[in-house]
Amino acid sequence: MRWFWVDRFTEFVSGSHASGIKNVALDEEVLDGYSLGFPVLPPTLIIEGLAQVGGILVHEHFQFTKRVVLAKVGTVKYHAPAKPGDTLNYHVRLGRTQGLGAIVSGTSHCNGELQAEVDLMFAFLEEGHLVDGPLFNPGDLRAMLRLMNFFHVAVTAEGKPIPYYKNL
């Protein structure tokens, strides 16, 4: 089972914002035991989906040179459950960045209605701190981004296509 909680990027502007979608399917294992008789996507996985979109936004802002990890989930508000057949539209905006990390705010919408809101903090792991080496095997992150349609929609702040960074 792949642990991608976003199916496709729909928009990506370097240093600014990104959007993606998550289709909730009845055959996803995580819906089976979370709420018996009422299949919903666990809210924590909605946070994870927003964190994956936000983490890529932060990671790309630093040209994929930092080891970006989710450090803290701040304020979270859920307005409605995500049920099978729903398409979640994730939107994240890059806030403040600094040498040790970044702040991202995100929302999830379903059928045009606000479904969830979250503030996320990302940290940068320094080499030799907790884990040595890259967080992804060579080529794995690039392959994941291709699967998620990233390179088809990602543009720089000037509107030019995102380059293929060497370290991907």
What is the pLDDT averaged over residues 132-138? 76
8-155 adopts what CATH topology? Thiol Ester Dehydrase; Chain A (3.10.129)
pTM of the shown model: 0.93
> What is residue 2's predicted lDDT score, i.e. its pLDDT?
60
| Domain ranges, ordered by start, for the chain | 8-155
Q: What share of residues in the chain are helix, strand, coil (percent, to 5)? A: 20, 35, 45
Question: DSSP labels for 6-18?
Answer: --EEEEEETTTEE
Q: Which two tokens stand for residue 76?
A: 């979270």
Q: How long a stretch of residues is the chain?
A: 168
Dihedrals φ, ψ of 49, to 5°?
Answer: -60, -45
**10-14, 33-37, 57-61, 129-133: the lowest-pLDDT one:** 129-133
- The DSSP call for residue 141 is H
Sheet bearing 17-23, strands edge to edge: 68-78, 113-124, 101-110, 87-98, 17-23, 8-13, 154-155
> What is residue 12's predicted lDDT score, i.e. its pLDDT?
98
